[in-house]
Structure 1
Amino acid sequence: MTARLVCDICVVGAGSAGLSLAAGAAQLGLKVVLVERDKMGGDCLYHGCVPSKSLIAAAHAAQTMRQATRFGVQAVEPTIAFAATMDHVRGVIAAIEPNDSVERFEGLGVQVIKATARFVSRDELMADDTLIRARRFVVATGSRPTTPPIPGLADVPYFTNETLFDNRIRPDHLLVVGGGPIGVEMAQAHRRLGARVTVLEAARLMGNDDPELVDVVRRRLVAEGIDIREQVRIERIERDGASMAAVIAADGGEERLVGSHLLVAAGRAPNIEQLDIDKAGIAATRKGITVDKKLRTTNPRVYAIGDVNGLTPFTHMAGAQAALVIRHALFRLPINVRAVPLPWCTYSDPELAQVGMTEAQARAAHGESVRVVRWKLHENDRAQAERETEGLAKIITDRRGRVLGAGIVGARAGELIQVWCLALSRKMKIGAVAQMIVPYPTLGEINKRAAGAYFTDWLFSARTRRIVGWLFRLW
């Protein structure tokens, strides 16, 4: 027997985007229904940001032991209890789970239905045996890992980010297909935890990032013993006894790379197959549900946020899109998702963080009027004290000094980039950062010094010296 339910907003998907929107709308007094077929918390909590950063933290602890000599402390090779390391990862997930639980959201006033959702019309969907009619729907079903069409891949066991963190046996030799953020982060983490690692990338390592900054990360990965193969073509994957081999094209022939385990980190696809979006008049491409600048689908009653729309596959942007929909759907305020500056960070060591345009993107858009300033991390006193001197800050402006983008590679770059996120969101000029007073000694000084470098040529020019001399004589 079909139950009927009427609400103000129905959110499909309890990942980062859906949970943020459901919580906000409910606390603003709307009747909210949240439909989730699997676990509350989504990919970020169970397969993405939380477990990966937990594993990276464990790997960092191991690497610190190896590098203690630089501080006059005896270095030791750590003993890795890999199963216990994975227990640490599961423990972090368990600590965060209550924040995303059914009980917490029901306490906020959200009605949670654990079911598979599918549209039956432009303003109705079925959640198992419940028919839901809503004034507005929000699709936030996220994405999943995809596998490239490599011959033989389906015939061998392999990890994706959805299964990697269930593994409790340290790989002897991990083959990583894909040199994007996930591939790089997991390659370095496993190497530091004692595995041999080879990364196979069809194009360029971390191809969406500034090549100048990527070079710093690449050098560290190679120095730590990771075998990086860029611009390679994998001909096939085949079994090799209890292991597997990636056969790649090399010098007119082939090369076999034998590994004990295989991680595929080469792309994502939107979770839309079971939604019957065509019945709701919702258009989509292979990248995701089509949305306008207000995050509305081709059915104005329905919004799509987070990974499922294919715009920006980051947890923080999923939350930002949820906030934009609340502004538009609840407060009738104008929004433009394409005007929101996009920050991202790869949590390698050193970290690489960017916001706004890269140098190449800025020059394509603004031509030769673009100015680029840099400041090396080795010129920062705190970096010297902590022996973390690899990296730089790179700031891109237009000819008037308005910040177009920024990139930082180095220790805690994800934290350091935040001042440039503010500068871009408030349309600030670089002079505002140059005039900041910041504590000494901090890594954050790198931002002030980079901003100050923008004015160096003008400030210490012959013309300025003449003006200063004239003013001083008048005083």
Structure 2
Amino acid sequence: MSVPFDLVVIGGGSGGLTVAAGAAQLGAKVALIDKHRLGGDCLWYGCVPSKALIHRSRVAHEVRRSRPEGTDPDFSGALAHVHKAIQTIEPHDSPERFRRLGVEVLFGKGKFIDPRTFRLDGRDLRARAFCIATGSRPRIPPIPGLVQTGFITNEEVFALKTCPRRLAVLGGGPIGLELGQALHRLGAEVTILQRGATLLPREDPRAAQLVHTALEAEGIAVKTSTAVDRVTSENGEKILHTRKGRFVVDEILVAVGRQPNVEGLGLEQAGVVYSDKGIQVNPYLATTNPKIFACGDVTGGYLFTHVAGYEGTIVIRNALLGLFKGKADYRVIPWTTFTGPELARVGLTEPEAKERYGKDLMVLEQPFARVDRAVAEEAETGFIKVLSLRNGTIVGVHIVGAQAGELLHEWVLAMKQDLKVAAVAGSMHVYPTLALGNQQASGLLAKQKFLAGPLPGILEGLFAQLRGLS
């Protein structure tokens, strides 16, 4: 039986679009399938709209800071900006663009009927290789009464007509904190309910605590170690019942995690092993069926758009270019939580690094309060923390403060290219910039090693003798 396609891509989000575009530009015959529209969660419900909303909420916050008499936040204007941003970026992910690249773009629901065939609305698609990139969706916790009472997720928040007067956010991770703070800055009274003991539990503990403190300073109520037992409604209000009391709100935003979209794909018929945590892949991103690859959120790995795009490039190599296969490299994975202040990280946390390296670890920390540009912009909250070995090897970086996500990339490059702390310390940085804080932090390694060695005492004695001779 003939194989009409070189590659069939299932899922039109970041990972799938990367695979389809790259494969087509290499000359492969590609089909790209999505249930509804291209762009995925990132374009419609995630990265693009959330950052547009955060931008407008930050502007409103800064206006109120500079004009204490106050101005009413413009929620409708903020939502208009969100949709304008989506409309501006959407053509890059449009079916027309991919068809111009030579990709056959198909919409509908389908599933594998055997290890080499994907059936879409009665049409059987066969290919030399397949890529599953169906992404993930919000995980809905099994709280009694939640579904009956009603709630929103990141998939509905950008369709709101008005800002909720009182909002409960379930979850203290990046999505909950980003959207909760943005909506608070746009007029909502926000309560964050976190089941765990801390917000942002994957982050550096001190950095996460600084974000926690900043949220409370803005007037957001943060309740940690608070599990919701049930939800009820009364007189149009939604009531969350916890062991710490009742919380009465007008809307509930659920942001307790993600779950991979693996249902209904016929993975059993395809010979692809999966679980509720995602599709099982090897270091080459091949599934248990060597002709089927997977990338992005559906694998249950790092749930970031930039990781999905990176994995897409690995799939292209391994699915189409058999002589040039390569493994996915997760040694240097950066990410940022876009709260105010931002929190960005790459590599190990301080507790992880201490456990692994012990006394060989050097902690280099530069407060934003000692970075002149931060002082000039009233952005003194935060710090740059570099985790280095005594030989200068960088094992982790954590930045909490203004523009943390932008400042991180200098360290990402250094770690990826195996550069030492001295490479950053020895590079000229523009004054006055926030990036100068990176150089200042890196310079602390030499200073700490110098002060801990014998040379300061030797020099002190030498200078004493020279003063005696003068």
TM-score category (smaller protein): over 0.9
What is the match of residue 177 of structure 2? 184
Q: Are 1:451 and 2:442 counterparts?
A: yes
CA contact (8 A) 2:291 2:319 kept: no
- Map 1:66-77 onto structure 2 (within 5 A): 66-68=64-66, 74-77=67-70
Q: Are 1:324 and 2:322 counterparts?
A: no
- Partner letter of residue 242 of structure 2? I
Distance in 2 between residues matched to 1:163 and 1:209, nearest whole Å: 27
- Map 1:223-262 onto structure 2 (within 5 A): 223-250=217-244, 255-262=245-252
Please say which of residues 164-173 and 323-332 is displaced more in the overlay. 323-332
Deviation at 1:106, TM superposition (A): 0.5
Q: Which runs of 5 or more structure 2 residues have no equivalent in the other structure?
A: none
Distance in 2 between residues matched to 1:400 and 1:27, nearest whole Å: 44
Deviation at 1:334, TM superposition (A): 4.4
What SS does the corresponding residue of 1:337 show, helix, strand or coil?
Answer: coil
Deviation at 1:248, TM superposition (A): 0.8
Deviations 1:259-302 (A, max 9, x none): 01110001111111110111111011211001111111111111
Q: Are 1:422 and 2:410 counterparts?
A: no
Distance 1:402 1:334, change over 3 A: farther
Distance in 2 between residues matched to 1:462 and 1:312, nearest whole Å: 41
Among residues 258, 277, 283, which one is paired with 1:293 in the alignment? 283
Distance 1:101 1:77, change over 3 A: same
- Map 1:259-298 onto structure 2 (within 5 A): 259-298=249-288
TM-score scaled by structure 2?
0.94
Q: Are 1:396 and 2:387 counterparts?
A: yes
Distance 1:191 1:151, change over 3 A: same
What is the match of residue 116 of structure 2? 123
Deviation at 1:215, TM superposition (A): 1.3
Q: Are 1:304 and 2:294 counterparts?
A: yes
Identity across the alignment (%): 40
Q: Are 1:314 and 2:307 counterparts?
A: no
CA contact (8 A) 2:6 2:320 kept: no
Deviation at 1:137, TM superposition (A): 0.6
Among residues 77, 88, 97, which one is paired with 1:104 in the alignment? 97
CA contact (8 A) 2:73 2:185 kept: no
What is the match of residue 165 of structure 1? 158
| Superposition RMSD in Å | 2.0
Distance 1:9 1:399, change over 3 A: same
TM-score scaled by structure 1?
0.93
Q: Are 1:7 and 2:16 counterparts?
A: no
Q: Are 1:91 and 2:84 counterparts?
A: yes
Deviation at 1:461, TM superposition (A): 5.4
Distance 1:362 1:327, change over 3 A: farther
Please say which of residues 422-431 and 282-291 is displaced more in the overlay. 422-431
- Partner letter of residue 29 of structure 1? G
What SS does the corresponding residue of 1:339 show, helix, strand or coil?
Answer: coil
Deviation at 1:460, TM superposition (A): 4.4
Deviation at 1:456, TM superposition (A): 0.6
- Partner letter of residue 56 of structure 2? A
- Partner letter of residue 28 of structure 1? L
What is the match of residue 134 of structure 1? 127
Distance in 2 between residues matched to 1:432 and 1:85, nearest whole Å: 42
Among residues 359, 369, 376, which one is paired with 2:367 in the alignment? 376
Distance 1:228 1:26, change over 3 A: same
Among residues 129, 136, 142, which one is paired with 1:149 in the alignment? 142
Deviations 1:302-348 (A, max 9, x none): 11100000110000111111112223334433433253411110000
What is the match of residue 430 of structure 2? 439
What SS does the corresponding residue of 2:150 show, helix, strand or coil?
Answer: coil
Deviation at 1:79, TM superposition (A): 2.1
CA contact (8 A) 2:167 2:252 kept: yes
What SS does the corresponding residue of 1:258 show, helix, strand or coil?
Answer: strand
What is the match of residue 196 of structure 1? 189
Deviations 1:335-379 (A, max 9, x none): 332534111100000000001111122233333422221110110
Distance in 1 between residues matched to 2:13 and 2:411, nearest whole Å: 27
What is the match of residue 56 of structure 1? 54
Distance in 2 between residues matched to 1:85 and 1:446, nearest whole Å: 32
